[in-house]
A and B are shown apart, each in its own frame.
Chain A
Amino acid sequence: MIIETRNLRVSFNGVEILRDISIAFDSGVHIVLGRNGAGKTTFLRALANLVRFDGDVLVGGRSVKKMGRREIAMLIGYCWQNPYYGFVEATVEDEIRAITRILGVSGDWRIVELLVPREYMGRDPSTLSGGEAKRVSMASILVADQPIWLLDEPFTYLDRDGVEAVVNLIDYGRRKGKTIIVTLHEIFYANLIKPDTYAIIDGGTIKFFDRWSSLSDEELAKAGLVPRGVICDTLCGPRGLGVQS
Chain B
Amino acid sequence: MILSVVQEVLGYRVKAPRIVFSKWFSIAKIALFILSIAVPVVAPTAVSLGLVASLVILLAVLGLRRSAVYTVFTAAILYLIMFSTAFLLHGDLERITRLTLLASSSLSTIILIASTTKPSMLRRWPTLYLFSIVFANTLKEVVDIATVYRARGSGGLRYVLQVVVASMAMSIARTSTLVDSLKARGIEVTE
Given known contacts A69-B188, A99-B186, A101-B123, is B118 in contact with A86 (CB within 8 Å)? Answer: no
User: Does B186 contact A80, Cβ atoms closer than 8 Å?
Assistant: no
User: Does B137 contact A87, Cβ atoms closer than 8 Å?
Assistant: yes
- For A5-45 the 0/1 string (1 means CB < 8 A from B) is 00000000000000000000000000000000000000001
Chain B residues within 8 Å of A, Cβ to Cβ:
10-11, 13-14, 118-120, 123, 129, 133, 136-137, 140, 174, 177-178, 180-188
Q: How many angstroms between the C-alpha atoms of A83 and B13 in the bound complex?
A: 21
Judged by DSSP, the binding face of B is helix
Given known contacts A87-B137, A123-B14, is B184 in contact with A78 (CB within 8 Å)? Answer: yes
Out of A69, A70, A85, A97, which one reaches B181, CB within 8 Å? A85
Given known contacts A90-B118, A126-B140, is B177 in contact with A74 (CB within 8 Å)? Answer: no
- For A88-116 the 0/1 string (1 means CB < 8 A from B) is 11110010011101110000000000000
Q: How many angstroms between the C-alpha atoms of A82 and B133 in the bound complex?
A: 17
Q: How many angstroms between the C-alpha atoms of A31 and B45 in the bound complex?
A: 69
Would you mind naming 18 contact pairs between A and B with Cβ atoms under 8 Å apart?
A: A69-B188, A70-B186, A73-B186, A79-B184, A80-B180, A80-B181, A82-B177, A85-B177, A86-B177, A88-B178, A89-B118, A89-B120, A90-B119, A91-B14, A103-B185, A122-B14, A124-B10, A141-B184
Q: Is A242 an interface residue (CB 8 A)?
A: no
